[in-house]
Structure 1
Amino acid sequence: MTNDIATAATPLPLAQGHWELDPLHSAVNFTIRHLGIAKVRGRFNGVEAGLYVGETLGDVRVSATVDIASIDTGNADRDAHVRASDLLDVEKRPTMTFRSTRVSGEGEDWTMEGELTIGDVTRPVTLAVEFGGLVEVPVYGGRHAGFEATGEIRRSEFGLDFAPGLLGEVVKIHLDMQFVEPAGA
């Protein structure tokens, strides 16, 4: 290893194969400033994700699709307005997708680089990832791996530059994800 960072050839502590998302124990959350003085927190309830673990770190792939209409800020009227054509415009941008391009790190602290697409705009994004561990869960079947990931995007880079001054430019992302080990691993 070089500089305490695992190389692409480093073997992994996870079984090889396609790990499935445990949607009941996973969340895609965000925070954005409102009027520059307070934060609005929300989540997206419609999420599909997969984790592919190969023989080495260089083989790891993560992909996710988020249903933008599933936004939930705890206020139905606000959510309806945010979905409308003058804001997120879910008719034009029904989903956002993420595809990893590189994973590096070791122990509990990792970095995942990837591409986030919202509507027809794709931009690079980097997430700090904490590996929460691996545990046998007989009740839910098999072993589960837990991850927490954080990062941020700038709205204007995705063409979401509506309401400047009202809403902050930076959207902070916080993901809590559990994946279930492939059967027979």
Structure 2
Amino acid sequence: MRLTASFGLMTLLATAPALGADAWSIDHDQSDLTFEATQQGGSFEGYFGSFSADMRFAADDLDNSAFDVTVDVTSIDTGSRQRDRELPKSDWFAFDAFPKATFKTSEIRETAEGYEAVGELRIRESAHEITLPFTWDTEGDTAEMVGAVTIDRTRYGVGQGDWTDPDAVGHGVTVQVDLTLSRVAD
């Protein structure tokens, strides 16, 4: 009898759908990856026009939730032609050598305000762990993720030489994520 019950339970578990984090795709027409920084004491905003991500998220399965994001830094736009002419150069992003930045999570955890994505942010040849606080709201097969994190650009070699002076360009850059996502059907 026990053998039959054990076999029946194993069969039930084997045929049950596997629980796991849902895959999500970004609706780029309704999503933004922006930043805010300062130059000579005044703030300015910019955005990245091209980015992609492999996103898996389920509030009830954070162990299997993960984000793997790639940003085309050559798609940066700060609203200033003069500033945008400098950014491809070696003192800044060095587009020729480092056209992409990446963020890959190692952990996603729940907080009182929402969630935190802990992972490695790589810009140029520098990689450091950051924690991105975010909210995730799901309605049916649509979700919205909103978050922000402030990084020190100099840790990543962005703004070298004379540009390391925080009076010229502030060290802190706040990256803002506002994504609309659709659940990917299995």
CA deviations over 1:114-151 (Å, ceiling 9, x no partner): 110112211001111012x2234xxxxxx211010110
- Does residue 70 (structure 1) correspond to residue 68 (structure 2)? The answer is no
Asked if 1:50 corresponds to 2:54, the answer is yes
Matched, 1:122 2:120: no
Q: Is the contact between residue 122 and residue 158 of structure 1 (CA under 8 Å) also seen in structure 2? A: yes
TM-score, with normalisation over the residues of structure 2? 0.80
Alignment equivalent of 1:154, drawn from 152, 155, 167: 152
List gaps (5 residues or longer) in structure 2.
1-19
Q: Supply the AA of the counterpart residue of 1:179.
A: L
- Identical amino acids, percent of aligned pairs: 23
1:38 pairs with 33, 36, 42, which one?
42
Residue number among 169, 172, 181 corresponding to 1:170 in the alignment:
172
CA distance in 1, matches of 2:39, 2:48: 18
Q: Supply the distance in 1 between the matched residues of 2:182 and 2:113 (Cα, whole angstroms).
A: 18
1:51 and 1:179 in contact (8 A); partners too: no
Alignment correspondent of 1:134 = 138
Whether the 8 Å CA contact 1:17–1:53 is kept in 2: the answer is yes
Query: Does the Cα contact within 8 Å between 2:104 and 2:120 map onto a contact in 1?
Result: yes
CA displacement 1:34-65 (0-9 Å, x = unmatched): 11x21111000011012113672111000110
Could you tell me whether the CA contact under 8 Å between 1:95 and 1:118 is conserved in 2? yes
Q: In 1, distance between residues paired with 2:91 and 2:101? A: 18
Instruction: Give SS of 1:117's match.
Output: strand
The equivalent position to 2:98 in structure 1, one of 88, 93, 112, is 93
Query: How many pairs were matched up?
Result: 163
Matched, 1:181 2:183: yes
TM-score by length of 1: 0.80
Q: Which has the higher helix share?
A: 2
Partner of residue 114, structure 2: 109
Q: CA deviation at 1:84?
A: 2.1
In the alignment, the residues of structure 2 paired with residue 122 and residue 109 of structure 1 have an alpha-carbon distance, to the nearest angstrom, of: 25
By how many angstroms is 1:161 displaced? 4.0
Q: Which amino acid aligns with 2:45?
A: R
Counterpart of 1:9 in structure 2 is none
Q: Helix, strand or coil: the match of 1:83?
A: coil
Q: Alpha-carbon deviations, 1:149-178, whole Å to 9, x = none?
A: 110111121122421231111111111012
Please give the root-mean-square deviation of Cα atoms over the aligned residues, in Å: 2.1
**Conserved 8 A contact 1:21-1:50:** no
List 4+ stretches of structure 1 deviating above 6 A.
none
